[in-house]
Structure 1
Amino acid sequence: MQDKDWIILQVLYRKKNITKASDHLYVSQPTLTNRIKQIEEEFGVKIINRGRRGVQFTPEGEYLAKCADEMLVKMQQIKETVLNMSHQVTGSLRLAVSNYFAQHKLPTLLKLFKDQYPNVEFKVTTGFSKDIMNVFHHQDIHIAFIRGDYSWPGPKHLLMEENICIASKEEIKMNDLPSLGRIEFSTDYSLKILLDSWWRENFSQPSFTSIEVDRVETCKEMVRNGLGYAIVPSMILNGFDDVHKIAIKDSEGKPILRKTWMLYSEESLEMNIVKAFVHFIESIVLPEIT
């Protein structure tokens, strides 16, 4: 079995359709079908049955498909170990990154790192921080960047802090918020819990949500056009000088902060590529917030 054979099983098991799998793998359907037959001959079993509803895996085929993830991870680990033995910073760095950090911070950091280590490649997974933590716990990820406070037993570095702000086109008073239209956006669970808790501590009635959007970028454009107010991390408003901002505070009068962290494991530092990237982030980012 070659690496590409395990990839074929992995993709076909997920797609359950020859046409979709061949499109995903950029191979023709006859080529994919022929390769499946060769795998069946190698193991001496029937792997799939094709029907009107697509591909159905046999028990033997399902077992092999489930082994594909493990085999591909193991092969990747073997390759990384061999590369690491040469003491060179090379290979593929796997990152799981929160959406905002991936959009606004990560591209520049990766460019600077690749300028130093041109033989490095990147595999990046993005999403809300809660989902990133799940990926980090259950998949073969080297380093995670998350926003908000999550439990992690390994090393973690604080990269930045930002205020949570009430943003509006016109100046508004804090006491008037319950009667004003609020623009809400889909966000990470930890931020939603933080904002809901702050609201309950300060108001006896729920906020009046006038607009709901799925992206914070849409939310801030709504605010900029005077369609309501929003409660957002301050970095979202960078460059929006025409928007009024009020930093929210806790019951003790301290600013409520949104933190961004870098997480990794002690074991991953044994890899040259991970160690180099962690040191790079520490030297580039950490001095900016101290």
Structure 2
Amino acid sequence: MEFRQLKQALVLAETLNFHRAAEKLHMAQPPLSTSIKKLEEELGVTLFDRLPSGLRLTPAGEAVLRNARRTLFFSEEIRRAAREGESGEQGQLRVGFVGSATYSLMPQLIRTFRRRYPRVELTIEESTTAELLRRLEEHSLDVALLRFPVLEPTNATITLLQSDHFMLAVSADAPLAGRSEVALAELADEPFIMYSRTLVPSMHTLTTYAFHEVGIKPRVAQEAVQVQTILSLVESGLGIALVPAAAIRYTGSGVRLIPLTDWPVRMKIGIALATLPDAVTATARNLIDLARTIVPPAADAQE
């Protein structure tokens, strides 16, 4: 039994006339008659009663053709799924992200992707840059949005999508809150909330190096992982901190962000896209292309 035979039987059931069915199928009548006869023999039932007045669908024929319609529908669904899977319009996409990617880039990217590819099963997971890189390299994630720069050794290609810069976060009632700008070199005696050395090593190293460049060693009062947590600790009066400027949209009235005058220009931060070049799926390729459309990549990339 072939799909071709089922299609022929369905057209014949619509017309109940071999000649008209053959015309609709763009074939000669004798081959159609032979094909239907072979289908009946294979199934062991008569699908059509041949009457002097024409054809009549038998009860067995009605049952067979009812299921034939379902079979042909699902066969077309399989073909469509294969086409969409090849083009990335259907399938699975696993995206990892760091918390600071949620400030602006990720909501815009995910919203646009879901609207453009509604049949893709999207899974998103939050973690740290180091953990996301590990997941990416063990192929349990397809792409990841990370903090930039990435100092951990990796086989992934890292492309900076969105540049940012650090600002000083202080509580609204702190003496520094009235300043319009401040230099890192002034902060030697301030209690400082630092990024975790073990869980956020890149941000920890970057801020430590920046202080080293201006000749001071920060007095670390507390370590934390997420920028939102750091802002809460600042608001609680536990210390000051360096946070991405993009965090300003999530900063409440209890925290002020102050521009820095002596941050080393060459030390860029931002959100980057991480991929494994030899393991990019069709769905991941579509997300990567979309990300580069929404936010043209900055000049920095890491291999």
Is contact 1:178-1:203 (8 Å) kept?
no
Match of 1:208 in 2: 219
* RMSD between aligned residues: 3.2
Q: Secondary structure at the match of 2:263?
A: coil
Match of 1:181 in 2: 191
Q: Secondary structure at the match of 2:260?
A: strand
Match of 2:119 in 1: 119
Alpha-carbon displacement from aligned partner over 1:41-93 (angstroms, at most 9, x marks no partner)? xxxxxxxxxxxxxxxxxxxxxxxxxxxxxxxxxxxxxxxx9566654610110
Q: Which moved more, 1:157-166 or 1:95-104?
A: 95-104
Match of 1:159 in 2: 161
Change (3 A) 1:213 1:138: closer
Q: CA deviation at 1:262?
A: 1.1
Aligned partner letter, 1:167: A
Greater Rg over alpha carbons, structure: 2
Matching of residue 284 in structure 1 with residue 294 in structure 2: yes
Aligned partner letter, 2:241: A
Alpha-carbon displacement from aligned partner over 1:108-127 (angstroms, at most 9, x marks no partner)? 32221111111011122321
Match of 2:143 in 1: 143
TM-score where L is the length of structure 2: 0.57
Is contact 1:165-1:247 (8 Å) kept?
no
Matching of residue 245 in structure 1 with residue 259 in structure 2: yes
Q: Which moved more, 1:195-204 or 1:234-243?
A: 234-243
Matching of residue 260 in structure 1 with residue 271 in structure 2: yes
Is contact 1:94-1:143 (8 Å) kept?
yes
Aligned partner letter, 2:201: Y
Q: CA deviation at 1:134?
A: 0.9
Q: Secondary structure at the match of 2:140?
A: coil
Match of 2:208 in 1: 196
Change (3 A) 1:246 1:190: same
Is contact 1:181-1:229 (8 Å) kept?
yes
Change (3 A) 1:99 1:276: same
Aligned partner letter, 1:197: Y
Match of 1:130 in 2: 130
Alpha-carbon displacement from aligned partner over 1:223-279 (angstroms, at most 9, x marks no partner)? 3566532122222234649432215423xxx2532132212233444x432222221
Is contact 2:191-2:240 (8 Å) kept?
yes
Aligned partner letter, 2:192: R
Match of 2:97 in 1: 97
Match of 1:71 in 2: none
Change (3 A) 1:143 1:247: farther
Q: CA deviation at 1:196?
A: 1.2
Q: Secondary structure at the match of 1:275?
A: helix
TM-score where L is the length of structure 1: 0.59
Q: Secondary structure at the match of 1:178?
A: coil
Aligned partner letter, 2:92: S
Match of 2:242 in 1: 231
Q: Which moved more, 1:146-155 or 1:89-98?
A: 146-155
Match of 1:53 in 2: none
Match of 2:108 in 1: 108
Aligned partner letter, 1:140: S
Distance (whole Å) between structure 2 residues aligned to residue 278 and residue 201 of structure 1: 35
Q: Secondary structure at the match of 1:179?
A: coil
Is contact 1:163-1:247 (8 Å) kept?
no
Distance (whole Å) between structure 1 residues aligned to residue 277 and residue 132 of structure 2: 19
Distance (whole Å) between structure 2 residues aligned to residue 287 and residue 130 of structure 1: 22
Distance (whole Å) between structure 2 residues aligned to residue 134 and residue 209 of structure 1: 28
Is contact 1:84-1:272 (8 Å) kept?
no
Change (3 A) 1:260 1:173: closer
Alpha-carbon displacement from aligned partner over 1:11-66 (angstroms, at most 9, x marks no partner)? xxxxxxxxxxxxxxxxxxxxxxxxxxxxxxxxxxxxxxxxxxxxxxxxxxxxxxxx
